[in-house]
A and B are shown apart, each in its own frame.
Chain A
Amino acid sequence: MPKSSDELRERLLRAGVAPRHVRRYLTELADHLADMRAEEELAGRSRAEAECAALIRLGGIDDLAKAMIERPQFQSWCARAPWATFGLAPLFLLAGAYVVALFILWSGWRMFLPGADTPFVRIHGFAIFYFGVGKLIYFGAPILIGWGVGLIAARQRFKEVWPIVGFVLIALIGGTTQVHASRSAVPGGFGHISMDFTLGPTVSGVPYGLLHGLLIFTLMVLPFIIWRIQNPSSSSAFD
């Protein structure tokens, strides 16, 4: 039932049924259909007649879809609480990634640059790799989280509104975050690292934070736009 299977999948996803429940349901329906077809063929029907009879016995798409949709326990989290999936969750993930990146910066400063007033100096050897991992997390996290948001939206056939809320939040925070490090800030001698959100200096009249945010937004949203162009009919009622 490839065609009706596709139709049922789209209908369930658009209604908010979690992709894993949809996948399992379709797998079991396909197995069930194969069993019924075999039974009908054993009863003497031709292959085409058996297929037709089995499809009728299986039930119409409306009934099959309704049986899943009317059970709230099969609804995905992003359908139940899109504000949490596309708003809060990316922010928490981004905060977690920044904590890890800042810890790497702080620990690398202590290990490789114990006498330096700031970790933002020329480094050598293993320190390049160590600080590099931190930088990768710091700069890569917003884009990776944004791709995750796009992937979730695409899998659940969301329209653009909620994912764009997530993209904009991530881009704003990713673009305006600035890290400061100084030894003199703490009298005990340990380095002090802080983070704040600012648009920063301007580049050709445009704040650097805005440009950075725009770059992050573009990189995040690109795969989602490509998916939307390739699947123009894939949208749901969750916006």
Chain B
Amino acid sequence: MAARETNPNFMNGVPELLILRLLQQGEMYGYEIVHAIRSRTDTVITLGEGVVYPVLHGLEGDGALRSRRKTVNGRSRIYYSITRAGSHRLADLSESWTSRAAAIQKMLTGGQHAEVIR
């Protein structure tokens, strides 16, 4: 019997998706990213402030992001920007999440069930 593929943890890929989406609009450093995610999701999604860096480093290691050190107002920070590979990854993740969100929405609104009854 073939093994069935199970859904991974629903939150898998969410931090990556949000970070890539933000960085598509311009380069940012870690603190900015955490705050931007919090404010743009109306604090519905809050990433652990410190644990955002392993995600950023992981994306950079995969070639989805690049980083550079930049001094702003006398403080040296590491800024991240998206690469071409990162844009492709963002497109894949967006598509995957859009279809998942649509499926969940359909379940919540009872779409399939209503069709059967009708």
Task: Decide: B31 and A68 in contact? CB cutoff 8 A.
Answer: no
By secondary structure, the A interface counts as helix
A62-93 vs B, Cβ < 8 Å mask (1 yes, 0 no): 01100110010110000000000000000000
Contact of A32 with B58 in the complex, beta carbons under 8 Å: no
Instruction: Please determine whether B49 and A21 come into contact, CB atoms closer than 8 angstroms.
Output: no
Chain A CB within 8 A of B103 CB: no
A58 with B57: CB separation less than 8 A: no
Inter-chain contact A58/B58, CB cutoff 8 Å: no
**Which residues of A are found within 8 Å of B110, using beta-carbon distances?**
none
- Given the complex, which residues of A lie within 8 Å of B75, measured CB to CB? 31, 34
Contact with B along A34-53 (1 / 0, CB 8 A): 11100000000000000000
- Measured CB to CB, the nearest residue on chain A to B46 is A57
Compute how far the CA of A29 lies from the CA of B77 in the bound complex, rounded to whole angstroms. Answer: 11
Given B49, B61, B77, B78, which contacts A58 in the complex, CB threshold below 8 Å? B49
Contact B54 A28 (CB under 8 A): no
Contact across chains for A67 and B61 when beta carbons are under 8 A apart = no
B50 close to A32 (CB less than 8 A): yes
Tell me the minimal C-beta distance from A35 to chain B in angstroms: 4
Kindly list chain B residues whose C-beta atoms are within 8 Å of the C-beta of A21: 57
> What 1/0 mask marks residues of chain B from 34 to 56 whose CB sits below 8 Å from any chain A CB?
10000000000000111101110
Residue of B nearest to A21 (CB): B57
Which of A24, A35, A36, A59 is close to B51, meaning CB atoms less than 8 Å apart?
A59
Whether B30 pairs with A59 at a CB distance below 8 angstroms is no
Shortest CB distance A67–B (Å): 4
- Please give the distance in Å from A65's CB to the nearest CB on chain B: 10
- List chain A residues, Cβ under 8 A from B57: 21, 24-25, 74
**Interface of chain B residues 71 through 111 with chain A (CB within 8 A):** 75, 77-78
Known: A36-B49, A59-B48, A67-B48. A31 touches B30 (CB 8 A): yes
Q: Bound complex: CA of A73 vs CA of B57, how far in Å? A: 10
Are the C-beta atoms of B77 and A64 separated by less than 8 Å?
A: no
Chain A, Cβ-Cβ closest to B56: A28
Please state if A28 and B53 are interface contacts (CB–CB under 8 Å).
Answer: yes
Q: A59-B48, A64-B50 are in contact. List 17 more A-B contacts (CB 8 A).
A: A21-B57, A24-B78, A25-B53, A28-B53, A28-B78, A31-B78, A32-B34, A32-B49, A34-B75, A57-B49, A58-B50, A59-B50, A67-B50, A67-B53, A67-B54, A74-B57, A74-B58
